[in-house]
Structure 1
Amino acid sequence: MSTEQQPQLALERLYTKDVSFEIPSAEVFTKEWKPELNINLSSTADKIDPTHYEVSLKVVVEAKNDNQTAFIVDITQAGIFLVDGVEDERLPYILGAYCPNILFPFLREAVNDLVTKGSFPQLLLTPINFDAEFEANMQRAQMEAAEAEGKA
């Protein structure tokens, strides 16, 4: 019988960590709706204790209509993940891609709910391939490290 511990990975808590919705001027409701969207998405991971991490996925969406800010929505969706017995080399992928993949549908729903309750048309964020983004970020970091090493 093996005494080796099986890796554990589980979402233990899901919550909205921060939320803000702003409509700077009601004048936006009197104009034809032709929005220009600026969407910024980021994620962070913080170790809470030896087996738990808080992973946060933050989005800021600014909608402009006729060069005037129509609304700004800023939401951070977070989760507490149990991560135990996972190899150190797998941890960046889990925290940087796997966990954000789990959080994104909840973030997407929260954005849409706020926008529609603000009396605007539905806003469904396009699904994101966090695996591909993680790989691209890793390759970019490796290239930057190689360039920095070459300059030294």
Structure 2
Amino acid sequence: MAEQPNSQEKAPSFSMQRTYLKDLSLEMPNAPAILLEQEGPTVEVQLNVGGQRLAETIFETSVTATVTTRINDKVLYLVEATQAGIFEAANIPAEQLDPLLGIVCPTMLYPYLRANVADAITRTSLPALHLAEVNFQALYEQRIAELQKQQQQEQPSGSGLYVPPGAKTN
């Protein structure tokens, strides 16, 4: 006879409850004179992923893009947009929760962010800028490596074990 799983154990579940544009700012500080420039612009893009726990199984994850476009060291436009989402993650093992919130959630939000940034820029009458695809797993791994390096510098005589932020040690 097969063992029945404990009825108190529940299957892991994950879903996006809502996505929303949390913040959007567009500045064209040198308009209209800069619109007469003939040179092509240079573009700088910065991304940041953030998040917070809202309730026991409810989390907010956000992806912020800052796009600065310049012509001859003068800002053509500056766009900062934050796309956020509310996610429910229940019965997820602790070691899988941080990667879920740091990789999967931003990957789900990023297409919305890309569309909002392109739309904001199009409304300036300038050609839309479509942000490149992003490998959030690589960004997450880079962040973890930086945290590990920082921990090693702070505790050079430690045990060598990586302790994730928020984890309790005895």
State the secondary structure of the residue aligned to 1:69: strand
Equivalent in 117, 130, 141 of residue 123 of structure 2: 117
TM-score in terms of structure 2 length: 0.84
State the secondary structure of the residue aligned to 2:94: coil
Give 1 or 2: higher helix fraction. Answer: 1
Stretch of structure 1 that moved more, 29-38 or 55-64? 29-38
1:148 aligns with 2:163: no
Identity %: 29
- C-alpha deviations, 1:32-68, integer Å up to 9, x for none? 1411112111111111111101111111111111221
Give me the whole-angstrom Cα distance separating, in 1, the residues matched to 2:156 and 2:78.
43
1:30 aligns with 2:57: no
TM-score in terms of structure 1 length: 0.94
- The residue aligned with 1:100 is 106
Equivalent in 10, 27, 52 of residue 5 of structure 1: 10
1:44 aligns with 2:34: no
State the secondary structure of the residue aligned to 1:124: coil
Structure with higher Rg: it is: 2
Q: Which amino acid aligns with 1:10?
A: S
> Runs of 5+ in structure 1 lacking a partner?
none
Superposition deviation, residue 115 in structure 1: 0.7
Give me the whole-angstrom Cα distance separating, in 2, the residues matched to 1:64 and 1:115.
14
Give me the whole-angstrom Cα distance separating, in 1, the residues matched to 2:82 and 2:104.
17
State the secondary structure of the residue aligned to 1:9: strand
- The residue aligned with 2:163 is none
Give me the whole-angstrom Cα distance separating, in 1, the residues matched to 2:40 and 2:64.
25
Give me the whole-angstrom Cα distance separating, in 1, the residues matched to 2:157 and 2:19.
44
Count residues in correspondence: 152
Give me the whole-angstrom Cα distance separating, in 1, the residues matched to 2:38 and 2:128.
16
Give me the whole-angstrom Cα distance separating, in 2, the residues matched to 1:124 and 1:80.
25
- C-alpha deviations, 1:68-88, integer Å up to 9, x for none? 111111111000000110011
- C-alpha deviations, 1:88-144, integer Å up to 9, x for none? 111111111110010011101111111111111121111110011111211222122
- The residue aligned with 2:62 is 56
Give me the whole-angstrom Cα distance separating, in 2, the residues matched to 1:131 and 1:122.
27
Give me the whole-angstrom Cα distance separating, in 1, the residues matched to 2:22 and 2:39.
30
